[in-house]
Structure 1
Amino acid sequence: MPGMSQHPVLFGTLATSFAISQPLSFVLDVNIQEQNKVLSESKTLTYGTHNEAVSVLQKKLKNINMFKGEEDGKFGVMTEHYVKKFQAKYQLNVNGRANKETIYKLIQKEREHYLEPLKNLEEETIDVGMYSEDVKKIQSALHYFGYYQGKIDGIYGPLTKEAAKAFQEDHKIPVKTKLDKQFVQQLEQTKTPDQDAIVHTVQKTPDTKTVKVSVSGDVIQIAKSYLGAPYRWGGESPSGFDCSGYLQFVFSQVGVQLPRTVSDIWNATTPVQKPSVGDLVFYETYKPGPSHAGIYLGNGSFIHAGNNGVEISNMSGSYWQQRYLGAKRVSQ
């Protein structure tokens, strides 16, 4: 991944001026570098121009929330209007012409726009599995600077965590995360009756012995750390999971060995009337009987390896509600 340890030289003197004016140095995403090159090497863009540079101009104005038109590459009345607004905002000559001064200022302001959420990382508290618009901004910024190539989905999963860590290491900016003991401590402080740490036993197959295992915050924490991992039929590792492979992998991290198929997991676990955090919830999907399962998170949601990869779904959604078979407890 670019930007982890070595930073290629950016194009021309424009990059040099940025390096002097900013305390942090970056390598931009390859596409962003190309866009900047197209724009900085273009002639003055004026009303009536129709080319790739105008498309880049429109895109960059939109990125900093200063363009609401279509990115069509046509320098028309609307594009001229927003160029003038940009020039006025940053005390440039307001003529509606995207000359070198305007272009360089636009590239600079776009860069600062994406830098802001990364500067604020040290002030944020980010949980693995967290979804928010702030995480989307962080992902977009990490992508802009060449650290993140995943989906901009607002979920702080493994790819986002890795990219943020690389950014931290390169620029010595700490990111606070509520993990490990902090996660369990918070759970203990805020738990509701269905969030109590669970210690249960269940008889597995005849050739396995019965032992006690705690199923609570550790399992949930581990399960959420793989949010965004891709789906793969037969997959049983972070490079690709199917639903039972995901369950088997997660529980193996706390010393619990689950069977490999959903139907065998169903047969090897204990029925419960109402699921608690860490229990399994089962569904009948592509064939009769239990064919899909996930881990209950509380508040009517569960985490599972679905068609879109490891994700969190709502049990009350129409698809899942009508296919729900019941909940079972994992212990061994």
Structure 2
Amino acid sequence: MTPKDLCCIGYTSGTTGHPKGAMQSHQAVLLNCALTATMHGRRDDDIVVTALPAAHVYGNVAINSTFLAGGTVVLMERFDAAQALHLIAAEDATMFEGVPAMYSMIMADPSFDTAELSSLRTSTIGGQTFSPSLAERWQARVTGPVLELWGMTEIAGLGATHSVYAPPVPGSIGVSLPGIETKIAPIDGSVGEVPVGTPGELMVRGPLVMLGYYGRPDATAEVLSPDGWLRTGDVAYVDDTGHFFVVDRLKDMILTAGYNVYPAEIERVISSHPQVTMVAVGKRSDEVKGEVAVAYIVAAPNSDLDGAAVLEYCRQHLAAYKRPREVVFVDALPTTSSGKLMRRKLTELDPTSAR
């Protein structure tokens, strides 16, 4: 057996389609844990509270990078906001790890403003983009840094993250892990790179990249080039300091009247409204514009927020072509087992009472 041999098969979360089995090598799994532990400054006295599923790549690397450093993991059987706050205080947790939906639900919990969070040295957040306004609210209660990160099953964990040793760049997923090549390629799939600050497809190459999809050579060929570059399907850009910013998933992009509209940008705006607990933006067909955005909102408890108020709020913060054309209030949003939003399931939701 060699480090490059098959170690395990990790299944994708299926946010944009059916899950696929990414074949991960021993070197990819171990190296990702080691690099994550290094970038996050994990220590043997760390106590990590998380509800990330152990079978999911984010949960796997969060747990095993902590064990690699000699730390302790307090693993929740399933996520519950009130229980997470209780465990952080009861266990003197030094780190909380989760996806944006978990943070949103924690901050919507009635006990958040009085919860004991002083033991937290670090918080990590990944899986999807996080609204800067929500990050600011969390940071107002937690003194340690919030380390935004990005990863995927196809690279056995993280591909980019902030380092605990450097100042965070709000809205960014950080920098590439050491020894990993990352570039921004044209969205149309052509060869080359786009200029700094220009959105394109995020691509990765190096020892973390999967061996391929199990039993799916066709799907493997679609994302993995002969020279080792992995197409991630994420639209992102890089600034002149080497920090990457994810715009959205390429498959979730809305083409409205010839313009590219990214749901994550609309979600960041709407989630900054004080009466919004969670939001997801999907799309529907339109005879005139081709596609238009639809906002699905979980309102804060006892909120009197209505669709007109949401659209007015969007009018103040978004260009006309980016604004949603419909607002649907729901009791909950569809998520994967790891807590990531499943936009493809939004049209199946039953709206709450009309507003």
Q: TM-score, normalised by structure 2?
A: 0.27
Higher helix share: 1
Q: Is the radius of gyration larger for structure 1 or structure 2? A: 1
Higher RCO, Cα 8 Å, sep 6+: 2
Higher strand share: 2
Q: TM-score, normalised by structure 1?
A: 0.28
